Amino acid sequence: MSDGTLAVPGRPTLEEVARVAGVSRATVSRVINGSPRVSPEVLSVVEKAIAQLNYVPNRAARSLVARATMSIALVVPEDAHRFFGDPYFADVVQGISDRIDDSDYVLNLQLTHPSSPSEKTRRYLLGGNVDGAIVVSHHSGDHFLASLGQSLPVVFGGRPFGEVSSKTDYYVDVDNRLGAVQATEHLITHGRRAIATITGPTDMPAAIDREQGWRDAVRAAGLSEERLVHGDFTEAGGVRSALTLLDEHPDVDAIFVASDLMASGVMLALEERGLRVPQDVAIVGFDNSRYATRGPIGLTTIAQPSQQMGVVMADTLLRLLSGEHPERVNLLETHLVIRDSA
């Protein structure tokens, strides 16, 4: 073992199975792939040999000739803490996972750096390890992922950056702008006038669109657009942003917060400042994740069907891979869920 080899018994090959079963390799291959052109006797002999040797086909060899790996990548350009911290991802992954489980493909999650995927990831994705990819949480500046669709069937979770016209862009999303409008109008309807927003990261389309929705609604009502603080879609960031907001605009009477997770932080900050929700400051979040019902005050929020979005992403990719022509863009519905905070 000091020669660097491993203590793993050599995997049996198809050839060995053939030898044990006393047939040709082609026949074994037929058995493995469930071909009907095999006689019952031979079938059973081969199956016995397979079981006896504990044989599992080598996928590298198979995919080399089949030109397909039967696996798809889920690319997440976030560090583990943000990825795990936000229930939105859990829902999306569960949805994708559910849909993939019903197929012949295996899902293969690739965590990469937020800034830009490493060379390793690049080679992995482009090196024929996967037949397609789903990219969630795309940031601007990530040129590689943005153009990945040119080399591989790709579906984005959320509208990707850049020209949507691109022939290779498939994505599923909600109308983030509209959702933000729904949230803000609810606030306006209930008499709020000094309406602020805490946005997501400015390099993410979803965050930009939600900010735009808030601007549109606020402007349409003749209100000020100046109460704005940029956040980062984390709970701790929500606390910080709220504190900044309160310092700069002590008069706010409502906040549209671009994610529930951040809203949860905002509530903490408000409590710390002795402000009551919704009496002093009304809050509307976005996601309808479990954070919306976790604290003492139920969070009014914009619901998006995260898990269903995951299902649709996977479904779109699967259909692409089977040569179908799915919708390029799939926009699911948001709706307002009213609880206590606004």
**Residues of this chain that bind DNA (CB under 7 A):** 13-15, 22-27, 29-30, 32-33, 36-39, 41-43, 57-58, 61-62, 64-67
Per DSSP, the three-state class of 158 is coil
Site map for a copy of itself, 250-269, x if CB under 8 A? --------------------
Q: How far is the CB of 129 from a copy of itself (least distance, A)?
A: 5
Between 123 and 276, name the residue whose CB sits nearer to a copy of itself.
123
Q: What are phi and psi of 76, to 5 degrees?
A: -125, 100
The amino acid at 321: L
Q: How far is the CB of 186 from a copy of itself (least distance, A)?
A: 28
| Among the listed residues 4, 34, 36, 274, the single contact to a copy of itself using CB under 8 A | 4
**Site residues (CB under 8 A) for a copy of itself, limited to 135-154:** 150-153
Q: How far is the CB of 1 from DNA (least distance, A)?
A: 20
Q: How far is the CB of 30 from a copy of itself (least distance, A)?
A: 18
Work out what residue 220 binds among a copy of itself, DNA, none; the CB cut-off runs from 5 to 8 Å by kind: none
Q: Are 187 and 282 in contact (CB under 8 A)?
A: yes
Angle, helices 40-53 vs 25-32, to 10°: value is 90
Site map for a copy of itself, 79-118, x if CB under 8 A? xxx-xxx-x-xxx-xx--x---x--x-xxxxxx------x
Site map for a copy of itself, 37-76, x if CB under 8 A? -----------------x-xxxxxx-xx----x-x-----
Instruction: Report how far residue 164's alpha carbon sits from residue 146's, in angstroms, rounded to the nearest whole number.
Output: 11
Angle, helices 306-321 vs 87-101, to 10°: value is 40
Q: How far is the CB of 24 from DNA (least distance, A)?
A: 4
Q: Read off the tokens for 45.
A: 């002999």
The strand order across the sheet containing 254-257 reads: 228-230, 195-199, 254-257, 282-287, 300-303, 335-337
Helices marked H in the chain — which ranges?
14-21, 25-32, 40-53, 59-66, 80-85, 87-101, 119-126, 143-147, 176-189, 205-220, 235-248, 260-272, 306-321
Work out what residue 152 binds among DNA, a copy of itself, none; the CB cut-off runs from 5 to 8 Å by kind: a copy of itself
Work out what residue 27 binds among DNA, a copy of itself, none; the CB cut-off runs from 5 to 8 Å by kind: DNA
* CB-based contacts of 117-124 (< 8 A; 24+ apart in sequence): 117/75, 117/77, 117/142, 117/144, 117/145, 121/75, 124/73
Q: Read off the tokens for 138.
A: 């795309």
The amino acid at 327: E
**Site residues (CB under 8 A) for a copy of itself, limited to 188-207:** none
| Among the listed residues 321, 331, 332, 336, the single contact to a copy of itself using CB under 8 A | 321
Work out what residue 107 binds among DNA, a copy of itself, none; the CB cut-off runs from 5 to 8 Å by kind: a copy of itself
Nearest to 131 by CA among 317, 342, 340: 317
Which spans of this chain sit near a copy of itself (rule: CB under 8 A)? 1-9, 11, 54, 56-61, 63-64, 69, 71, 79-81, 83-85, 87, 89-91, 93-94, 97, 101, 104, 106-111, 118, 120-124, 126-129, 150-153, 167-168, 320-323, 325
